[in-house]
Structure 1
Amino acid sequence: MSNVTADQKVSKPANFLMALFKIKYVPPVLAALGLIVVWEIGVKLAGVPTYIAPAPSDVGTVLVSELDLLAKNFWPTLIESLLGFLFGNMFGILAAIVFVHFKKLDAAFFPLAVFVNTIPILAIAPILVLIFGNGLIAKVIIASLICFFPTLVNMVRGLQAINPQMLELARILSASKPEIFWKMRLQMSLPYLFSALKIASTTCVIGAIVGEWVGADVGLGALIIDATFNFRSPLLYATVFVSSGLAVVLFASVTIAEKVLIKWKPEQAV
């Protein structure tokens, strides 16, 4: 006879479920699947027209049937996002280095950077499109602008986060400014920088799409506008999901790079 009791048989599935929920990404995945099921059932039971709110099954069908169209518009947005991410963060880092080492420039231009950041990107985008046209340059500049300010602020904060006692010790030991920068300030600023890069990895996609809304024939932003005006709701939702997926992939890439390059993180970094 088996020595396994009924309670033990019942506990095995329960223990498996408990172990499953301890896995980091399982709860959000299950929650997302639950929302999709509720969405599907709710739309079908309520009889909502497809052009108003398509069911997830309709969106999935369009993702397959219109894959070529989505891919055609995906690549321009990806290129614009990556270039905007690159240039926006590069100029943000360079500006932060200048502001930290030249206090007068910091006092003169940092308020100006704050002012520019307060202007909605939807207000700036038409101006840039008028100046640079409907091509790649305007979209890259828009994506760069939306990445620039978070990187500037976080990088300045990181470069200034060095312990004053460590800085004084370096000066007593006759360390030069380049040595202090490369071996102390830059190392201290990396966690802050990656916090900004995580923000920029998602906002660069937003910037590229906004640029395409204002003036573009191709790109996910242009496809969103086209699907909206033609009441192709399944295509609209599918395009939004592809855009979101692009942002998630970029965010995950930055997160992986952070884990590989940085083994420590100060409490102040967010």
Structure 2
Amino acid sequence: MAHAGRVKGRSTDMTSLDDYVATSPETERPVTEATEPSRYSLRHPKSRIGFLHPKVWLPLVVMLVVLGVLWEWGARSMPYLLPKLSSVGAALADEPDYYLRNAWVTLWEALLGLILGFVAAFFLAVLVSERAWARRAIMPVAVVLNVTPLVAIAPVLVVAFGFGPEPKLIVTGLICFFPILINTSVGLRAVPAEVVQVYRTLKASRLEMLWRIRVPSSLPYLFAALRIVFPLSIVGAVVAELSAPGAAAGLGTAISLASTMNRLPVVFASIAILALMGSVLLLLVTMAERRVLHWHETTKGAAG
């Protein structure tokens, strides 16, 4: 009763949620201190180690050397399966404009499909988190579709929509859609019950609760999904290009054409560019996560 009186007396003196700052009646401290760790307490000592430190770059260099030796051994033993690394490098050097042009097409398809899938998944995740009937109706179907191999429907989409960008955007969007939907819906509902109760005591609207506590709570889950779907967006675009043999451009199309002509250096040069594109996208989303979620413990391990 004493706590209730304290909360009631405090709430009558404020005019908005901003005046209250979400104070917890049990601890007399802002709830954000309990729900969001201090941005300074979670700085990992290893995050100070520069890239030039041998502990950072030496394991990677050793692994690359081992892989290079194994590759050259495989190229000499099975030249009909693996080209020499020098041949792949020569293929990249001979036609850089060809690879850049096709890489740009694939990147555009991947990013646009990712954006479409993200927007649709986020808004549907909000609906699922706010309405129990939507959660019971949508989430079981989403889980089943998430484990369905979308590669199998790519040829059907090509038949339905032709060789333009539409089937590629649909495949890429679907690949990105389900991980974002599932993770974000879980994150939106991961707010501690006591925090929700405090905001309800303050007569906060659904929109205020969504913006102030549910969306921040979902960010770690959302970034976990983005770390998966950013590289997968490249995979989705390439799968759609490989399923559309009449497509005019794209690294998937370049791989398909080079395979029919047995130009293995071109095939592996295109694959190397795709791997580089996926790695760069993953690096960018990881950097964004560390920047946005500097207060969250999931970035502690990433900093090491």
Query: TM-score, structure 2 length as denominator?
Result: 0.77
Question: For residue 223 of structure 1, what is the aligned residue in structure 2?
Answer: 254
The aligned counterpart of 2:124 is: 95
Please give the alpha-carbon distance, in whole angstroms, between the structure 2 residues aligned to 1:176 and 1:104: 20
Structure 1 segment 97-176 matched on structure 2, within 5 A: 97-176=126-205
User: 2: distance between equivalents of 1:218 and 1:42?
Assistant: 31
| Structure 1 residue 132: Cα displacement | 1.5
Q: Does residue 65 of the first structure (1) align with residue 94 of the second (2)? A: yes
Q: In structure 2, what is the equivalent of residue 15 of structure 1?
A: none
How far has the Cα of 1:90 moved from its partner?
Answer: 1.3
CA deviations on 1:108-134 (whole Å, 9 max, x unpaired) are 122222222232111111121122211
Q: 1:146 to 1:42 in 2, by over 3 A?
A: closer
Within the candidate set 31, 55, 76, 2:63 is matched to: 31
For residues 79-106 of structure 1, give each alpha carbon's deviation from its aligned partner in whole angstroms, at most 9, with x where no partner exists: 0001011111111111100101111011
Q: Which amino acid aligns with 1:40?
A: E
Q: Does 1:253 align with 2:284?
A: yes
More helix by share: 1
TM-superposed CA distance for 1:194, in Å, is: 0.7
| Partners of 1:42 and 1:224 in 2: CA distance | 21
**Where do 5+ consecutive residues of structure 1 fail to align?**
1-18
Q: Is the 8 A contact 2:171 2:236 kept in 1?
A: yes
Rounded to whole Å, the distance in 1 between the matches of 2:74 and 2:151 is 34
**Residues 20 and 260 from structure 1, CA distance in 2 versus in 1: closer, same or farther, beyond 3 angstroms?**
closer
By how many angstroms is 1:266 displaced?
5.0
CA distance, structure 1, for counterparts of residue 284 and residue 136 of structure 2: 35
Q: Which runs of 5+ in 2 are unaligned?
A: 1-51
> How many angstroms does 1:265 deviate by?
2.3
Matches within 5 A, 1:15-30: 20-23=53-56, 25-30=57-62
* Ranges of 4+ aligned residues in structure 1 off by more than 4 Å: none
Task: Provide, for residues 177-203 of structure 1, a one-character-per-residue CA deviation record: whole Å limited to 9, x for no partner.
Answer: 111111101111111111111111011
Q: Is the 8 A contact 1:191 1:266 kept in 2?
A: no
Kindly, what percent of the aligned residue pairs are identical?
A: 37
Who is 2:107 aligned against? 78
Question: Once superposed, what is the RMSD of the aligned Cα atoms?
Answer: 2.0
- Contact 1:77–1:220 (CA<8 Å) still a contact in 2? yes
1:236 matched to 2:263: no
Residue range with higher mean Cα deviation, 35-44 or 197-206: 35-44
CA distance in 2, matches of 1:64, 1:37: 22
